Each structure stands twice: as structure tokens, then as C-alpha cells.
């Protein structure tokens, strides 16, 4: 029950629904046990003595009990579902809030499909046990106890004989639980992997088709699907072995009842009505004891699901807001790195090694280097997506850790290399970081990003609905909308992570001209592979393997004959290309 104890904060606040549900459950169970007693009275007091004038009274009593039981059953199920649904509503919200708080380090190792499986299938498995499993377990226990009391009232010896096989049934049920829980844990894990495979395949369908790897992907899916199937078959095999054994032990109790109970009727120690009632009561014990396997099944699934949900809820939040954090709404944007070292995981090489530089407000810093050289890592430390292993990152003279996360990140406009757009209107996408912005401000931001012209040509203009991940727009159009989104929040610090990589040269020049106006008064980091994107920067940092190997202005670096010069020579092979790119 350790898993349920850890999750009690989600269902205990709704315990009133559970108490009401259980109250009606006890009423239903009590009425159920009355049925055999009515049957016994009918045989012993009506049929045998031929007192048929009592039949109408017994019939009316039976009908009233059925009506009361029906209403009580409805209320039991309704409040039980209300308990489970309300608890899971709170749990699902907490899971989603936790996912928003977890840092990039967590997502570096997480799989989207597995996370989706936890927030859907695992949450639903936990809900079903809260709604049904808890009450079913109490129903079984209550029904068995009340039935036993009535049986001992009728005949203590017969009750003891009948219960002789029950300890064996309890042992079988216990062993069943020990085997079935790991099996369900395996099912949940394999289902998460299957979900991940589907999600990655759909997201990367363009790559799959362009490289004709459909057959390979089908094979990989079959492997994961086979693993899922094998886990389910293994679980079904456990169930198939234990359920007949539980049924066999239950039937032994019935045989003992008929043999010994029949002898008691023959010698007059028990009436035939009591034997018939006893027979019904035995099934009220044997049936629930056999059904307890199903409840254990639900419990094991819920426990396995709860463990997977706790892995999210208990995941370490390594990027946290400290007490007394600075809540300054507007920052000047003075960024300083002092001997900063960053390592993403213990097994990886250091992404940055003792990096130091100073970026005063309003200055533009260009970052260039080979893939994996550490360009993006610098900007991810500015936004505090990661924490450095050593050194300090400061903004306006204060460590980034001293600022409130919301205030810090609202001062940083970020345009990623792969622009992500939501499945909503173009207007809502541009205003995502500033939802209260006026339409005039949205249009102004779009114009600055060179996006206004193509937007107004679309069927519904700014109200045009986009498909998933911006489906329906070209790569360049998506990036220009992302740039407009960054402009609209009016950041102190602007980060352009290869922001013009998906546009043609003409559009790139237009965007750069617009961005020059936007960058005035803002500290700007431009990550680029094209020298044309950073040649006008106030300072250019050339990175190799996490180390700044060169720094300076465009002309200074060209005269050094180093890495920057080699990149320049590769991109501009002759003087005409240089002249064309420089606009001379």
C-alpha cells in the first residue's frame, strides 16, 4: 500500500464521496444477505407448513428490498465514480504542472510516447481502482463477514466444515498477487515503449518516407508490439493458472457443505430451508473470494500505474526558484559569463569549458562554430534551462539563480532553430508570450519579422488556423512567425538560434534589416552558421569543443587567419560573392 500512501493527497480530500458511496454499499450488501434468509423463511414457514397466506407479504417485502437495493446501488456507483474522477482530476493537473516545472535535463532522457502513456493509460488505471476497486474490495470483505455470521447462526459445525478450505484459497490468492503485479508492471512499460514508437514515427514521417524506411519502421513497431503482446500473454497465463485453482478450492467447500449439511437435515439438526439458505450464503463467500483475484488484478494494475505516476511526481526539480528571488519586471540585459563550465550528463563531455565574456546592454554577440561546439549551450544558461557545473552566469550583475524564473524568462525573447507553432490561429501563435497584446501590436511585430505580407494573403488572415506544429506553412514562414512572437514580448535579451536558417537569402536580408531596428537597446545573441547573419555583431565568439578560441569583430577575425577565416573562405569562394553578400 506504499504507493497509495504516497498518493493519498490526491484522494483524501474527496473522502466524503467515498464515505457516502461505502455507506450505500453496506446497505446493498446487507440487503443481499437478507435474500437467503427470505428464502429460508419461505421454505420453512410457508411451503412446508402450507401457510400460503404469507406469500403476498413475503413478495411485497422482496419487491421493496429490490427497489431499495436498486437505488442504493445507483448511489453507491455514482459517488464511487465521483470519488475516482475527482481524485484523478487533481492528480492529472498535478502531473501536468510537474511536467511544466521539470527542467530540460529531465526531458533529455524522457520519451514523449511514454509520458503520454502515463498521463492517459496509467492515470485511467489508477482512477478505475479508486472508483471501483476500493469499494469492490470492501464489498467482498463485508459480504463474507456478514455471510459468515449468518452461517454460524444457523450451524456452527457446518460453518466450520465449509470454511475448512478457505485458508488454502487465501494462500493461492496471496501467491497470485505476488506474481501478477510484476507482470502488470511489464505491461505498462511495454505499452509506454509502444506509444513512444508510434509518436516518433508519426512525428518523423517525412524522414521515414524520404528515405524509404517504411519497412524498417514496420519491423520496429512489430518488435515493440510483440513485446507488448508477450507481456499480456504472460499475465493471461498467470491468471489462467490461478483462477481454476481458486474455483476448485471453492467447489470443495460446496461439496463439503452438501455432504455434511445433508446429513444434518436427515438427522433433524437442521431444516431444509436453513440448508438452502446456507448453500446460497456459501456462494456469497466462495464467489467473492474467487472474485478477489479480479480485485487483485485491478489493484496490481493500479499499483503499477501509481508507481509510474510517482516517478514523474517525485522527479527532482533541479531548476528551482530560490526564496527571496528578485521579482524585477524589466531587466537591463547586461549578461556576463565568468569561467562557466557546463556538462549535460555525467557520461558526456563538457559542453562548455571555462567560458567567459561580457555582453553589455544593447550589444550584439554573434556565436559561430561547428555543430556541438557549445553555441546553444550558452543561451540555454542565460535562460536558466540548465545549471552550470562551475562558474557564474550573471544578468545585471546578479546571478541568474537570484531572479524569479518567470521574470527572468519574460525578459528573454527566444527564436529556436526549429520553430514550434501551436494548433491555433496565427494571431494566437504570435501573441502566445503576450496574450494581452493589442491587434495593432501583433501586426507591428509581424511586419518587423517580414511576416505580415504572407499572413494577410492567407484565407482568414491572422485568424487562419494552423495544423499541428504549424502544418500548412513553409519553414521560412514558421520562423518569421516565431520571430514576431519574440518581438512582441519586448524582451531585454533577444536570442536568435539560427533563426534565419530556413529562409532564402533575400528574405534573410529583409529579416536582418528589420531585426536591426528591433535589436536596438537589447542585448542580442545570434547563433548562426552563416557569417552573413553575424558579420555586423559587436563581438563574435568562435567556439570549438566548448571553448572560445577566437573573439572580436568581423574584420578583426578575418585578419587573424584562424577558424573564422576558414569558415569565411568556405562560404565565400570569390570576391563577387563577397561583394554581393555585403551589398557593395
What domain range includes position 16? 2-313
Q: Is residue 172 part of a domain?
A: yes
Q: What is the DSSP letter of 493?
A: E
Given a cut of 50, whether residue 449 has pLDDT beyond it is yes
Give the pLDDT of residue 58.
78
% pLDDT > 90, the chain: 21
Closest-CA residue to 449 (of 510, 505, 493, 502): 510
Q: Is residue 361 part of a domain?
A: no
Secondary structure class of 339 (helix, strand, coil): strand
Q: Is residue 223 part of a domain?
A: yes
CA distance 74 to 510: 68
Given a cut of 90, whether residue 117 has pLDDT beyond it is no
Q: What is the pLDDT of residues 367-418, one digit of tens each?
A: 998 888 888 899 989 989 889 999 999 999 999 999 998 889 889 888 877 7
CATH number reported for the structural domain that contains residue 283 in this entry? 1.20.1560.10
Give the pLDDT of residue 575.
45
Q: What is the pLDDT of residues 41-66, one digit of tens each?
A: 788 777 777 777 777 877 888 889 88
Q: Is residue 189 part of a domain?
A: yes
Give the pLDDT of residue 39.
81
Confidence of residue 514 (pLDDT cuts 50, 70, 90): low
Q: Is residue 228 part of a domain?
A: yes
Give the pLDDT of residue 574.
47
Q: Is residue 81 part of a domain?
A: yes
Residues 6+ positions from 114 with CB-CB distance below 8 Å: 192, 193, 195, 196
Is the entire prediction scored with pTM above 0.75?
Answer: no
Q: Is residue 36 part of a domain?
A: yes
Q: What is the pLDDT of residues 239-291, one digit of tens each?
A: 788 778 877 877 777 787 778 878 888 887 778 888 888 878 887 877 777 67
CA distance 448 to 443: 9
Q: Is residue 435 part of a domain?
A: no
List phi, psi (to 5°) of 152: -65, -30
Closest-CA residue to 567 (of 377, 374, 368): 368
CA distance 184 to 172: 18
Given a cut of 50, whether residue 24 has pLDDT beyond it is yes
CA distance 36 to 1: 35
Number of domains within the chain? 1
Take residue 481 and report the three cell numbers written for it: 512567425
Note whether 345 and 401 are within 8 A (CB): no
Q: What is the mean pLDDT of residues 443-456?
A: 88
Given a cut of 60, whether residue 580 has pLDDT beyond it is no
Which of left, alpha, beta for 360 (phi over 0: left; psi -120 to 50: alpha)? beta
Residues 6+ positions from 369 with CB-CB distance below 8 Å: 375, 542, 543, 544, 563
Closest-CA residue to 421 (of 464, 481, 376): 481
Q: What is the DSSP letter of 451?
A: -
Note whether 282 and 148 are within 8 A (CB): no
CA distance 128 to 131: 5
Amino acid at each position: 500500500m506504499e504507493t497509495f500512501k504516497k498518493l493519498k493527497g490526491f484522494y483524501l480530500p474527496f473522502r466524503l464521496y467515498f464515505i457516502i458511496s461505502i455507506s450505500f454499499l453496506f446497505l446493498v450488501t446487507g440487503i443481499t444477505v437478507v435474500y437467503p434468509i427470505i428464502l429460508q423463511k419461505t421454505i420453512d414457514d410457508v411451503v412446508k407448513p402450507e401457510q400460503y397466506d404469507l406469500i403476498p407479504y413475503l413478495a411485497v417485502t422482496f419487491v421493496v428490498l429490490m427497489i431499495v437495493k436498486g437505488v442504493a446501488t445507483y448511489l453507491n456507483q455514482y459517488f464511487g465514480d465521483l470519488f475516482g474522477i475527482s481524485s484523478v482530476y487533481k492528480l492529472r493537473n498535478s502531473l501536468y504542472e510537474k511536467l511544466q516545472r521539470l527542467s530540460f535535463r529531465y526531458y533529455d532522457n524522457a520519451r514523449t510516447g511514454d509520458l503520454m502513456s502515463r498521463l492517459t493509460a496509467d492515470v485511467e488505471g489508477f482512477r478505475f481502482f479508486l472508483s471501483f476497486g476500493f469499494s469492490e474490495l470492501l464489498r467482498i470483505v463485508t459480504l463474507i463477514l456478514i455471510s459468515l455470521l449468518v452461517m454460524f447462526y444457523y450451524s456452527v459445525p457446518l460453518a466450520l466444515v465449509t470454511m475448512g478450505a478457505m485458508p488454502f484459497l487465501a494462500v493461492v490468492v496471496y501467491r497470485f498477487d505476488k506474481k501478477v503485479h510484476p507482470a502488470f508492471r511489464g505491461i505498462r512499460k511495454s505499452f509506454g515503449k509502444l506509444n513512444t514508437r508510434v509518436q516518433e514515427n508519426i512525428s518523423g514521417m517525412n524522414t521515414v518516407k524520404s528515405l524509404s524506411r517504411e519497412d524498417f519502421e514496420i519491423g520496429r513497431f512489430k518488435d515493440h508490439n510483440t513485446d507488448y503482446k508477450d507481456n499480456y500473454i504472460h499475465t493471461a497465463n498467470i491468471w489462467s493458472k490461478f483462477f481454476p485453482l481458486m474455483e476448485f478450492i471453492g467447489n470443495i467447500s460446496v461439496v463439503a457443505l452438501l455432504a455434511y449439511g445433508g446429513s444434518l437435515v436427515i438427522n433433524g439438526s437442521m431444516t431444509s430451508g436453513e440448508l438452502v439458505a446456507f448453500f446460497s450464503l456459501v456462494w456469497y463467500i466462495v464467489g467473492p473470494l474467487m472474485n478477489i483475484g479480479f480485485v487483485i488484478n485491478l489493484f496490481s494494475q493500479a499499483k503499477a500505474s501509481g508507481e509510474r505516476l510517482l516517478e514523474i511526481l517525485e522527479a527532482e526539480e533541479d531548476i528551482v526558484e530560490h526564496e527571496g528571488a528578485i521579482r524585477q519586471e524589466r531587466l537591463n540585459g547586461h549578461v556576463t559569463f565568468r569561467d562557466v563550465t557546463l556538462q549535460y550528463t555525467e557520461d558526456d563531455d563538457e559542453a562548455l569549458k571555462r567560458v567567459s565574456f561580457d555582453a553589455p546592454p544593447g550589444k550584439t554577440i554573434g556565436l559561430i562554430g561547428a555543430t556541438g561546439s557549445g553555441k546553444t549551450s550558452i543561451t540555454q544558461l542565460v535562460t536558466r534551462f540548465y545549471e552550470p557545473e562551475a562558474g557564474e552566469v550573471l544578468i545585471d550583475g546578479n546571478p541568474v539563480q537570484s531572479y524569479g524564473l518567470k521574470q527572468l524568462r519574460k525578459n528573454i525573447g527566444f527564436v529556436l532553430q526549429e520553430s514550434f507553432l501551436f494548433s491555433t490561429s496565427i494571431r494566437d501563435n504570435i501573441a502566445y508570450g503576450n496574450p494581452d497584446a493589442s491587434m495593432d501590436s501583433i501586426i507591428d511585430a509581424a511586419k518587423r519579422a517580414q511576416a505580415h505580407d504572407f499572413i494577410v494573403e492567407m484565407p482568414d488572415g491572422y485568424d487562419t488556423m494552423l495544423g499541428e506544429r504549424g502544418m500548412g506553412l513553409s519553414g521560412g514562414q514558421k520562423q518569421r512567425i516565431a520571430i514576431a512572437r519574440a518581438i512582441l514580448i519586448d524582451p531585454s535579451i533577444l536570442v536568435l538560434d539560427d533563426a534565419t536558417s530556413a529562409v532564402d537569402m533575400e528574405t534573410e536580408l529583409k529579416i536582418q534589416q528589420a531585426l536591426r531596428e528591433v535589436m536596438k537597446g537589447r542585448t542580442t545573441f545570434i547563433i548562426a552558421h552563416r557569417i552573413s547573419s553575424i558579420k555586423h555583431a559587436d563581438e563574435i565568439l568562435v567556439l570549438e569543443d566548448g571553448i572560445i578560441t577566437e573573439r572580436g569583430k568581423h574584420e578583426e577575425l578575418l585578419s587573424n587567419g584562424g577558424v573564422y577565416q576558414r569558415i569565411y573562405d568556405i562560404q565565400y569562394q570569390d570576391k563577387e560573392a563577397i561583394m554581393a553578400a555585403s551589398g557593395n
